[in-house]
Amino acid sequence: MKKVVLILMLSLLYSCNAKQIEQNNNLSTDETYMAFDDISSEFENKGYKKDEFDPLSGYNRAMTSFNDSFYVYISKPVILTYQDVVHPTIRTGVSNFFTNLGFPIRFINNLLQFKFQNSWEELQMFLLNTTFGIAGLIDVAKENNFEIKHHDEDFGQTLATWGVGEGFHIVLPIFGPSNLRDTFAFFVDDYANPLKKGDSSFYLSDSTEESIGLRTFKVVNDSSFKAEVYDKIRKDAIDLYPYLKDLHRKQREKQIKE
């Protein structure tokens, strides 16, 4: 039974190519559209850079095709059903809850990048939302127009600020576009992720199935707000792999500069 549950959870996990569309929800839908339009213009003027170092291009293309099929036949129906069944107010509360849980990753990486003001704002928001926001279901700062906000940072961005290059491009099964630096950084960040399987009270799950279930729920809920983004990219892209590759790079560059 556990194996069946695990397979179902993995199937749900690839929701709207969430990792392809945005990293840790840093970009809004409008910003993603703008990035896509910029890339479209570049392709019209310059075309795809075929001489770019891409040692895994064959594998990456095959995995992009697999991920795309996964989206069409499995993820999209799940997302749209969830979107229709669950009221936006509830989905927003769920999104706030998971965003609040991401505090340790954001707080630590802001500190590592010496962004002390950002770290302080993260701490204030975590305390406000955890207490007055009913465990994070309500974004108190946003609701009351406080002049503090989240500052999304991950270890991949931290490494970039330390001068570590992105390395070659990698398309991950289920998760989508990444690179050598960010793939390594993901596992480092995961140690500070409350959704990770762990024995201490810091972690919300003590089994692999529970951890995958929580992560899946988070991705499905987040993707329900922007299900149309990937559809637009998929429809307009002449060659899906290089478009997603450059979109991912453009988004990461934007996040690192902020």
Per cent of the chain over pLDDT 90 is 70
Whether the per-residue pLDDT at 44 is higher than 80: the answer is no
Whether the per-residue pLDDT at 1 is higher than 50: the answer is no
In tens, the pLDDT along 129-160 reads 999 999 999 999 999 989 999 999 999 999 99
* Average pLDDT over all residues of the chain: 85
Q: Report the distance separating Cα 14 and Cα 49, nearest Å.
A: 28
Mean pLDDT of the region 48-70:
87
Structure tokens at 88: 């936006």
pLDDT at 37: 53
Whether the per-residue pLDDT at 36 is higher than 60: the answer is no
- pLDDT bin (cut points 50, 70, 90) of residue 66 is very high
Task: Name the residue ranges covered by the structural domains of the chain.
Answer: 2-257
Q: Report the distance separating Cα 253 and Cα 251, nearest Å.
A: 5
Mean pLDDT of the region 220-240:
90
Q: For residues 109 and 154, is the Cβ–Cβ distance under 8 A?
A: yes
Query: How many Cα neighbours within 13 Å face the side chain of 154?
Result: 22
Structure tokens at 105: 């990753």
- Pinpoint the alpha helices (H) of 50-179: 57-70, 76-85, 88-101, 103-112, 116-131, 140-143, 155-161
Q: Report the distance separating Cα 255 and Cα 258, nearest Å.
A: 5
